[in-house]
Amino acid sequence: MKAAVVKALGEPLVIEERPDPVPGPGQVRIRVEASGLCHTDIHAAHGDWPVRPTPPFVPGHEGVGIVEELGAGVTHLSVGQRVAVPWLGWACGRCEHCLSGWETLCEQQVNTGYGVDGAYAEKMLAHADFAQPVPDGVDPREAAPLTCAGVTTYKALKVAGIGPTDLVAISGIGGLGHLAVQYAKIAGATVAAIDISDDKLRLAADLGADILIDARKEDPATVLQRYGGAHAALALAVSEESFATALAGLRRGGRLVMVALPADGAVQVPIFSTVLGGTSVIGSIVGTRQDLAEVFQLHAAGRTRVIYETRPLSSVNECVDEVLKGTVKARVVFEM
Ligand SMILES: [Zn+2]
Ligand SMILES: [Zn+2]
C-alpha cells in the first residue's frame, strides 16, 4: 500500500510503498477512501508543537474508509462497514476524564496521525472502539472533513453554551469555520463571520452568516461591540492577533473558545475587564465519539454542507503549501 510519510520534521512528505498493516487485538484495518488535510497535520509534519511526533510517521486524522479486516475480539464492527478515524484514536476509558464524558482530555490518549500512523495512506489501522460508523448515504469525501473540522467546531459551540438569542463570532472561515457557521445557525444563533478573504466571507454569507467582518478593513472587536458584543467567539484562525480581537469583541459574560493552535501562541488577558465583565477564556480540543455521532447525524439529515476539493495523495506537498498560503477554499480531501 502507498502512504505519505513524514521522514524528518520540517521536510516534504515522501510517498512510499509499505506492507499492509496487520490489525492487533481490538483493532481493525481500513481501506481508506478519503482523508482530509487538517492544519494539525502540517503542525505535526513540521514539529511545531511542544510535544512532537517521532518520524517516520503517517499524518492524517480525517480518515474515512471501509473495514476490511477485524482484529481479535472485535465484534461490533463488520467487514465492509464504513467508518471514520478521528484524532482521538484511543482513550483509556478509566480515568476521571474518560468517565465524566471528557475522553478528549484523557492523559493516556493516542492520537491518529501523531502518536500512531494516520490516514494519509491507502490502508490504516484503528482501534475498533474509536472507529466511528458513518451513516449510510453520507459521502466518504464529506465525512472526512466532518471527522475533525466538523466535530471540533460542533464541540466548541457546545462548550460555548450558545443559545438562539446569542451573537456568535466565528473568526476564520476555512475548513473549520465554514462548518462552525452552520452549527451556530442550527443552534439558532446570530452569526458574525470574520476573515481576511473575500471568497471566504462570501462562503460564510452563502452558509447563512448574518454579519460579515473583513478584518483587513475594520477592527472586528469594534464591529462586534456595535452589536453589543458577542456572547461567544470561536477563535479558529491560526493567528494570535485574531484571538485578541475576538476576546475584545465579547460582551459582558461572553466566552472566548480557543480552537486554532498557532505555534507558541499567547494572548494577553486583561484582568480588569475579565473580572468586571465576567468573561471566560476556554480551550476546546476536538470532540468525543458521541459528538462525532451527532455531527454525522446532522449531515445525514441534510442539515450541513461540506465544502471540499479532492486531490490525489501524490499532491500532498503542494496541498500543504496551498493551505499555508490560505489559497484553499475550504477543505482538501485526498481521494485514495
Ligand atoms: Zn484536525
Ligand atoms: Zn482516560
- Give 177 Cα–ligand 2 centroid separation in angstroms: 29
- Give 89 Cα–ligand 2 centroid separation in angstroms: 12
206 and 264 fall within a common domain: yes
- Give 40 Cα–ligand 1 centroid separation in angstroms: 5
Residues 82-118 have pLDDT tens digits of 999 999 999 999 999 999 999 999 999 999 999 999 9
125 and 171 fall within a common domain: no
pLDDT value of position 238: 87
- Give 110 Cα–ligand 2 centroid separation in angstroms: 10
Residue 294 falls inside a structural domain: no
Q: Which domain holds residue 33?
A: 2-133+306-335
Residue 300 falls inside a structural domain: no
10 and 123 fall within a common domain: yes
124 and 18 fall within a common domain: yes
CATH code of the domain in which 247 resides: 3.40.50.720
121 and 164 fall within a common domain: no
- Give 106 Cα–ligand 2 centroid separation in angstroms: 4
310 and 231 fall within a common domain: no
Q: Which residues contact 194 (CB under 8 A, 6 or more apart)?
A: 169, 170, 171, 172, 173, 213, 215, 220, 237, 242, 245, 246
The answer to whether the peptide bond before residue 56 is cis (omega within 30 degrees of 0) is: yes
- Give 84 Cα–ligand 1 centroid separation in angstroms: 13
170 and 242 fall within a common domain: yes
pLDDT value of position 191: 98
Q: How many domains does the chain have?
A: 2
Beta strand 63-70 pairing with 123-127: unpaired
Residues 293-332 have pLDDT tens digits of 999 999 999 999 999 999 999 999 999 999 998 888 779 9
64 neighbors 82 (Cβ within 8 angstroms): yes
- Give 97 Cα–ligand 2 centroid separation in angstroms: 6
Model pTM score: 0.96
Please give the mean pLDDT across all residues of the chain.
Answer: 96
Which amino acid is it at 172? G
Q: Which residues contact 15 (CB under 8 A, 6 or more apart)?
A: 2, 3, 4, 5, 313, 314, 316
Residue 288 falls inside a structural domain: no
